[in-house]
Amino acid sequence: MEACPRPELFDFCGVSMTSYFTKNWEKVQAFQARPDDIVIVTYPKSGTTWVCYILDLLYFGCSQERDASLYLHERVPFLELAMPDYPYGTDELEKLPTSPRLIKTHLPVQLLPKSFWEQKCRVVYVGRNPKDNAVSYFHFDRMNSLQPEPGDWNSFFHRFLDGNMVFGSWYDHVSGWWEKKQSYSNLLYLFYEDLVEDTGRELGRLASFLGLAPSAEDRQQIREKVHFDSMKNNPMTNGSTDHILDLSVSPFMRKGKVGDWKNHFTVAQNEVFEEHYLLKMKNSTVAFRTAL
C-alpha cells in the first residue's frame, strides 16, 4: 500500500476541510436517509467513538459473537469518509444490514444532507470543552497520517482558535448544533464531561431519548464494555488495526479525562484562550465545563 501524503486544508462552503471528506460530496449530499436512522454528530475528538459504541450496544446487544467480530467503524459507518484504501461511507451505509442504521458524521449543522431533516431523523450530538478538545485533536493529528501536519502545540493552538481545522471552527460547530436544538426536537445534545462524570446517568438519557428500555443487567454490561480501559484494550474500538494511525506516536484511546488541557496550556495561552472564547461565544448560551 502506497503512503498517502498529508492533505492540505482548503475552504469548502466556508468550512476548512481536506479532500478526504469532500471527494464524495455529491453522494453525501444526495444521501437518502430513512426515518429510523440515528445520526451521531460531533466535532472531531469529542467522544464520537464512545457514544457510537454505547448506541451500538444499546441497539444490538453485548453478545460476544457480534462484539468480537465487527469493528466499530463497520457497525457505525462514517458518512462523509472518502479516504484512499477505505470504503466510502455512503457505500458502507447502503450495504449496512442492521436496522436502525447508526451513522457517524462530523459535519457542521449547515452541511448535513437535507434528507435527514426531511425524514425527521433522531440526532445525538456530543460536545466537549474546547480546551480538552484542542489537546485531543493535536495528539490525533500527530498520529494520523491522513490529517494535516499539526506543527508544534503553539501553532496548533492558534489554528484551533482561528477555526483552521478539519471540519472547521469548534466554536461554529458546537454553537450551530446548539442553536438547531432549540427548533428541532429530535436532537439530544450531550456533553463529554457529563459522560465522564456519570456514564450510567447519560446512558439512561440516551435510552429514553431513543425509546429503549435496557434491563439493569444490560446497562451494567454496557457500562463495563464502554469504560475507557475496556475500550482501550478492545481491538474493535482502539484503532490498533488501522494502518493510518501510528499508536507509537500517541494512542487513539489516549487519556479519556477532563482537564488534561492543564498539562498543555501555558498561563499565557490560557489567557488568550479565555478572552477569545468570550468574543466567539458571546451570542451562544451553550456552556462547557473544563474541570469536574
Q: Cβ closer to ligand PPS: 121 or 231? A: 231
Q: Is 136 in the site for ligand PPS (CB under 6 A)?
A: yes
Q: Which of 132, 126, 130, 131 is nearest to 104 (CA)?
A: 126
Closer to ligand PPS by Cβ: residue 80 or 132: 132
Q: Is 44 in the site for ligand PPS (CB under 6 A)?
A: yes
Residue 208 C-alpha cell reads as 429514553
- Interface with ligand PPS (CB under 6 A), residue total 21
Residues 31, 50, 88, 170: which binds ligand PPS (CB under 6 A)?
Answer: 50
The stretch near ligand PPS (CB under 6 A) out of 10-18, 39-47, 174-182, 210-218 is: 39-47
Answer for which of 27, 45, 73, 131 binds ligand PPS (CB under 6 A) is: 45
Quick one: which of 189, 228, 277, 288 contacts ligand PPS (CB under 6 A)? 228
By CB atoms closer than 10 A (0-12, 13-18, 19+), residue 274 is exposed
Considering the complex, state which of residue 24 and residue 49 has its C-beta at the smaller distance from ligand PPS: 49
Binding flag, residue 47, ligand PPS (CB under 6 A): yes
Query: Do 107 and 123 touch, CB atoms closer than 8 A?
Result: no
- φ, ψ (nearest 5 deg) of residue 39: -105, 130
Total residue length of the chain: 292
Residue 255 in the binding site for ligand PPS (CB under 6 A) = yes
Active-site annotation holds for 106: yes
**Catalytic site residues?**
106
Judged by the rule CB under 6 A, the positions of this chain that interact with ligand PPS are: 42, 44-50, 132, 136, 139-140, 196, 226, 228, 231, 253-256, 260
